[in-house]
């Protein structure tokens, strides 16, 4: 008998489905699934100590055994459980893994990717927003930086392929994720200038300048300013205030 297909969502929200049907998991089971999806630490002792840090070792392991039993009952075949090890089955599909695979492929060789595949497979790359578990933070930061870098790379490739509309949409998605990222502002200015939209490029520069000053108290880099300097003299002085 075939094992049921299990899918896990971690981006934007937590979701768990078996054969396409959502299953409601309690907090303990959600955190067990999320931990196994995020980290490749198969030791039961490590998993128990990370998920139940306030418990004694024996109590934490007992809590883990109970959670494993409940999850295996709700989703048979979702876990590969050994005497001392525990992991998600390779059959479980996790949206985080799809997003990471896309980002690595884009960054490694964007020219080899089809036009449609240059678009991110997810509308949100925020890993389990609202969760405050310490074990999530390193992966959350890694995903944030990797996804933005991939979006910038994809937008640059779309511009190279003379698809400025798609490039703008992709670059703005990166800017939405990190409004103070100067490299994204610079990319948007390049796209505007490639289309001959000088006014849009200058407005993007001023938006970057004002945001950096308001939030960080710094000015744009010399490289960014030099990008628009040839065009500043074309507008009235009052326009750059």
Average pLDDT, the chain: 92
Which tens digit of pLDDT belongs to each residue from 216-228? 999 999 999 999 9
Fold of the domain spanning 6-91: Arc Repressor Mutant, subunit A (1.10.10)
- 182, 221 Cβ separation under 8 angstroms: yes
Beta partners for residue 43, in sequence order: 85
For the chain, domain boundaries = 6-91, 179-241
What spatial distance separates the first Cα and last Cα of the chain, rounded to whole Å?
A: 70
pLDDT at position 73, please? 92
Identify the three-state secondary structure at position 69. Answer: helix
Quick check: pTM over 0.95? no
Q: What is the DSSP string of 178-233?
A: -TT-HHHHHHHHHHHHHTT-HHHHHHHHHHHHHHHHHHHS-PPPHHHHHHHHHHHT
Q: Which two tokens stand for residue 173?
A: 């998605």
């Amino acid at each position: 008998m075939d094992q049921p297909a299990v899918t896990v969502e971690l981006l934007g929200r937590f979701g768990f489905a078996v054969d396409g049907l959502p299953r409601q998991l309690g907090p303990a089971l959600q955190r067990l699934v999320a931990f196994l999806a995020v980290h490749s630490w198969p030791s039961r002792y490590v998993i128990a100590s990370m998920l139940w840090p306030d418990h004694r070792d024996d109590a934490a392991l007992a809590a883990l055994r109970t959670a494993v039993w409940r999850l295996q009952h709700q989703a048979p075949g979702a876990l590969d459980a050994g005497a001392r090890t525990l992991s998600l089955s390779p059959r479980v599909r996790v949206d985080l893994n799809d997003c990471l695979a896309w980002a690595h492929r884009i960054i490694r060789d964007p020219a080899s990717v089809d036009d449609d595949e240059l678009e991110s497979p997810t509308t949100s790359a925020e890993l389990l927003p609202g969760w405050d578990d310490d074990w999530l933070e390193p992966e959350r930061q890694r995903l944030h930086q990797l996804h933005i870098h991939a979006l910038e790379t994809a937008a640059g490739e779309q511009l190279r392929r003379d698809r400025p509309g798609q490039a703008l949409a992709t670059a703005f998605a990166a800017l939405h994720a990190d409004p103070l990222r100067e490299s994204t502002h610079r990319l948007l200015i390049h796209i505007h200038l490639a289309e001959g939209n000088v006014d849009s490029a200058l407005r993007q520069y001023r938006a970057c300048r004002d945001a950096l000053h308001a939030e960080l108290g710094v000015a744009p880099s010399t490289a960014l300013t030099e990008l628009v300097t040839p065009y500043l003299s074309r507008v009235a002085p009052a326009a750059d205030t």
